[in-house]
Structure 1
Amino acid sequence: MGGSRKFSVGLGALGLLAAFAILLFVRPGEPAVAQGTGGGATYVGVASCGGTTCHGRSEADGPVVRQDEIMLWQDPATAAGAHSRATAVLSEPRSQVIAQRLGIGEASRAPMCLGCHATPPGPRGPRFQLTDGVGCEACHGPASGWLSSHYAVGGTHANNVAHGLVPLENPKVRAGVCLDCHFGSAGEGQFVTHRIMAAGHPRISFELDLFSTLTSHWQTDRDYRERKGAVESIRMWAVGQAMALDRSLSLYSLASRGTEGVFPEFYFFDCHSCHRQISDDPNFRPSAVANPGRAIPSGMPPYNDENMIMLSAAARVVAPALGARFDRDSRAFHLALGRDRASSVAAAGNLRASARALADAFSSATLGRAQTFAIIDSITSDAISPRFTDYAGSVQAVMATDTLLSALVNEGQVSAQSANAIRGDINAAYRAVRDPNSYSPGEFRASLGRAAAAIRRLR
């Protein structure tokens, strides 16, 4: 099962990961409604995977897969170990303060927290331990149905999937699983509301391919490709962007998620468009910059359009006709937000359909060297870069640039030496979004433009 990229992501990506304190906890599910454990299957626990002939070795010397996957999952010092630390985090002072402000008792026992900070609820066997955090089965599915076929001599991946193993090599499936906690679902404890963030919870931010790399404990080698097929970084990135927007809009459309009392659920809106410096000084100049992609009156909170910006850039290269439709639906959705909730929910449905169509287009398109370079150019083009007016979209742009450059290296289109030579430009772009309070649209665009120009020279 697979390994990290030949070309490592830079320190900037790791810095963003630490800054966001990203949630790395998952459950299979449809865009809005989590599916549970499927047919009464049972979680058997991490210990059931930990034999030295399975995934419990101390060295990556297995003949087929690494076999040290649990050691990597438990690594206390890296992003790869974040899942195993998920429940322990709930006992730390910050979590205790958040729980106190929310009035939910102990965070380590609160359903509001455990929906993502532990393996999801479901039937549990005698070896299962809640304190394991987000264990193997949180991502791969409860193992009672597929564990024996998984280690059987002559067993196949297809047979494992038929018995309940989640096929995470499929970009749509992986995105659906990760987004349950990296964005939210209708399941209990799997949605970070604005109220929870106001209590101190980190802002949610996610990009499927980059985060897959940062938490990687597998190797996409020949054996992996023979059993599961090739997993292309650019496809994972593009499909992930489409699925993230689909999930966002599906949850916004739910009355139970889209409103909080008399207010809309502000989780869905761009945090930093409202959280700006305020002054009564007559000489004060607001820092807000007009965004041409948001057809809304000044002063209204804009929907978080980070995934819309990335999808628009990718669609211009991969599916221009669908891209034009997507842009129209995006503008119509923003406009509808200024009218009433019923109009915005209807417009969200149209935009979801366009996002899903783009996910299908990305899944089937040829995404090679030329397309990758073209998407990098598109992200920094005159049609897209004026939309980088707020922090969230800019973070997505930096992560996308890093992901796409890494894809070029891993596919042998650009040498690792050449890519490392411009790592400084990529990290400079990361520094431009390191602190949301000092974010400057103009400075960011210039920094991202320099990084893109450096990548362009690698052609």
Structure 2
Amino acid sequence: MGGIRAAIAGATCLALAIGAFFIANFAAAERLEAQAASAAARGTHMGVGSCAGSTCHGRNEADGEVVRQDELWRWQEESTPGGAHSRAFRVLGEPRSLAIGKKLGIGDPRSAAMCLGCHSTPAAAKGPRFQVNDGVSCEACHGAASGWLSSHYATGTSHARNVSQGMIPLENAQARAGVCLDCHLGNDAPGQFVNHRIMAAGHPRISFELDLFSTLTQHHDEDADYRQRKGKTNSMRMWAVGQAIALERSLSLFGKPGLGTEGVFPEFYFFDCHSCHRRIYDEEDARPTALANPGRPIPTGMPPYNDENMIMLSAAVRIAAPGLAQQYESQARAFHAAMAQGRGPAVEAANRLRQTAMALADQFSRSDFTRAQTFSIMEAIASEAISPRYTDYEGSVQAVMAVDTLLSGLVNQGQVSGGAATSLRAQINQAYAAVAEPNGYKPLEFRRALGGAVRTIRSLQ
């Protein structure tokens, strides 16, 4: 879309054709995300017990002929991040959660709709084995099982058939992002939006990157059978699509009157936490702690929209969707500028940028993300063109997760050896250390750490 406004003659026809193309792509991508996001709530949720047989997913050892069959054990494993979903409900009974519930005036979080939307499995219809205290269970991600449970284990069945009967195709990056972001970024469904009041009461800030978090909770092996049925996961594609869908989701929620505002104030969830939560100095020789950000044309002292995903897409669009780069960058800057004009202009600008984000998700979904492209994106993330935009904590965290994810993707694809990647891990760990403590975050030190990673990235190419 960007850069395609050619000569005045024929501009109307050209604009209509291009507009129709992207509107169609946007609508198709939006439908896919909506279908994936709502599938988990459709049908009857049969409960974890329906998956727990020793001939299904309840074994203690991964010795199944087709799949591991110890998936439930891995889902429950206390010692790894993979057990986070099964622990989600139990967390609500811990002292921190009980204190949050008291501050919010919602009583016991274990029975509060505000919490159960993400700490349990939202289910409109529940089978006899469904239990709220199972936490974020199988069907929270794979969809209500009543339609596909029997075909799922039937002889001669196919993944395509299961999907046709309601299983969510999580191998599809857009579908996976739609499901994961419901809780890991937010949704307008009951209990799936962690607003600023909830965070102020003590809830952790929301931080998410699709491929990295998917890897941490993965409970399957991508063997030959998996690849035959679902295809091989491209982590670089998953990362890029995840960034685009995250931006689309954020802008979509921002545009909703019931979520974008809180009383007379805007909903502070959408702003970069670190831009306000800084130390205050009143001395006459005090120096401002904020740094100018070239990506945000906003007045000095105005809280900026959390643009962590916008920054990542600025790196990806140049390499993987150059035809949309000018359009994207122009709309991103226009959105920030519109925030200073009022809610009406900001929502209009958000909707334009949102459509471009969905067009990017659609284009990224069809991209192979070659070795050369991935290295170029990694280098762009820490380049002189983008690194000045790392003025706040959220964007810097997203940057180091991106470099980590993309490097791991190259290793998993066999495009970089594990030994070669080791040389970059030291720099990545330095960058992680620079964002380990939000209150100790120093933008210039982070940029230096990321710059060291870039030099090593170049040597690997």
Question: What's 2:441 paired with?
Answer: 439
Question: What's 1:320 paired with?
Answer: 322
| Pick aligned residue for 1:215 from 211, 214, 217 | 217
Question: What's 1:157 paired with?
Answer: 159
| Pick aligned residue for 1:35 from 34, 38, 45 | 38
Percentage of matched positions with identical amino acids: 63
Question: What's 2:189 paired with?
Answer: 187
Question: What's 1:302 paired with?
Answer: 304
Displacement, 1:452? 2.3
CA distance in 2, matches of 1:428, 1:145: 48
Gaps of 5+ in 1: 1-27
CA RMSD of aligned residues (A): 1.5
| Pick aligned residue for 2:451 from 445, 449, 452 | 449
Question: What's 1:20 paired with?
Answer: none
CA distance in 1, matches of 2:67, 2:231: 15
Question: What's 2:357 paired with?
Answer: 355
Question: What's 1:196 paired with?
Answer: 198
Describe the superposition over 1:320-353 as per-residue Cα deviations: whole angstroms up to 9, x where unpaired. 2201110100010001100011100000010001
**Residue identity opposite 1:97 in structure 2:** A
CA distance in 1, matches of 2:114, 2:291: 36
Describe the superposition over 1:418-458 as per-residue Cα deviations: whole angstroms up to 9, x where unpaired. 21233221111100000011111110000011122222211
Describe the superposition over 1:257-300 as per-residue Cα deviations: whole angstroms up to 9, x where unpaired. 10000000000000000100012122221210000000100111
Describe the superposition over 1:386-436 as per-residue Cα deviations: whole angstroms up to 9, x where unpaired. 101100000000000001101111111111112123322111110000001
CA distance in 2, matches of 1:37, 1:60: 27
Displacement, 1:382? 1.5
**Residue identity opposite 2:317 in structure 1:** A
Question: What's 2:12 paired with?
Answer: none
Describe the superposition over 1:162-198 as per-residue Cα deviations: whole angstroms up to 9, x where unpaired. 1100000000000000010011111000000101111
| Pick aligned residue for 2:255 from 230, 233, 253 | 253
Question: What's 2:126 paired with?
Answer: 124
Partner secondary structure for residue 381 of structure 1: coil
**Between Structure 1 and Structure 2, which shows a larger proportion of helix residues?**
2
Gaps of 5+ in 2: 1-30
Displacement, 1:50? 0.7
Q: Is the 8 A contact 2:245 2:357 kept in 1?
A: yes
Matched ranges for 1:406-417 at <5 A: 406-417=408-419
Question: What's 1:169 paired with?
Answer: 171
Question: What's 1:238 paired with?
Answer: 240
Q: Is the 8 A contact 1:237 1:403 kept in 2?
A: yes
Partner secondary structure for residue 326 of structure 2: helix
CA distance in 2, matches of 1:208, 1:293: 24
**Residue identity opposite 1:388 in structure 2:** Y
Query: In the alignment, is residue 367 of structure 1 matched against residue 369 of structure 2?
Result: yes
**Residue identity opposite 1:457 in structure 2:** S
Displacement, 1:364? 1.2
Describe the superposition over 1:217-236 as per-residue Cα deviations: whole angstroms up to 9, x where unpaired. 11112111110112100000
CA distance in 2, matches of 1:186, 1:155: 35
Query: In the alignment, is residue 49 of structure 1 matched against residue 48 of structure 2?
Result: no
Partner secondary structure for residue 332 of structure 1: helix
Displacement, 1:29? 8.7
Residues 244, 121 of structure 1: alpha-carbon distance in 2 compared, 3 angstrom cutoff: same
Question: What's 1:335 paired with?
Answer: 337
Query: In the alignment, is residue 395 of structure 1 matched against residue 397 of structure 2?
Result: yes
Q: Is the 8 A contact 1:183 1:248 kept in 2?
A: yes
**Residue identity opposite 1:369 in structure 2:** R
Residues 103, 245 of structure 1: alpha-carbon distance in 2 compared, 3 angstrom cutoff: same
* TM-score, with length taken from structure 1: 0.92
Residues 409, 30 of structure 1: alpha-carbon distance in 2 compared, 3 angstrom cutoff: closer
CA distance in 2, matches of 1:343, 1:408: 41
Residues 276, 333 of structure 1: alpha-carbon distance in 2 compared, 3 angstrom cutoff: same
CA distance in 2, matches of 1:79, 1:101: 28
CA distance in 2, matches of 1:207, 1:93: 28
Q: Which has the larger radius of gyration?
A: 2
Q: Is the 8 A contact 2:270 2:305 kept in 1?
A: yes
Displacement, 1:37? 4.8
Describe the superposition over 1:190-247 as per-residue Cα deviations: whole angstroms up to 9, x where unpaired. 0001011110110001100000001111111211111011210000000000000000
Question: What's 1:67 paired with?
Answer: 69
Partner secondary structure for residue 353 of structure 1: helix
Displacement, 1:36? 6.2
Matched ranges for 1:94-113 at <5 A: 94-113=96-115
Displacement, 1:366? 2.9
**Residue identity opposite 2:200 in structure 1:** A
Displacement, 1:31? 6.1
Q: Is the 8 A contact 1:32 1:250 kept in 2?
A: no
Runs of 4+ in 1 over 3 A off after TM superposition: 28-34, 36-39
Residues 55, 227 of structure 1: alpha-carbon distance in 2 compared, 3 angstrom cutoff: same
Number of aligned positions between the proteins: 431
Matched ranges for 1:5-20 at <5 A: none
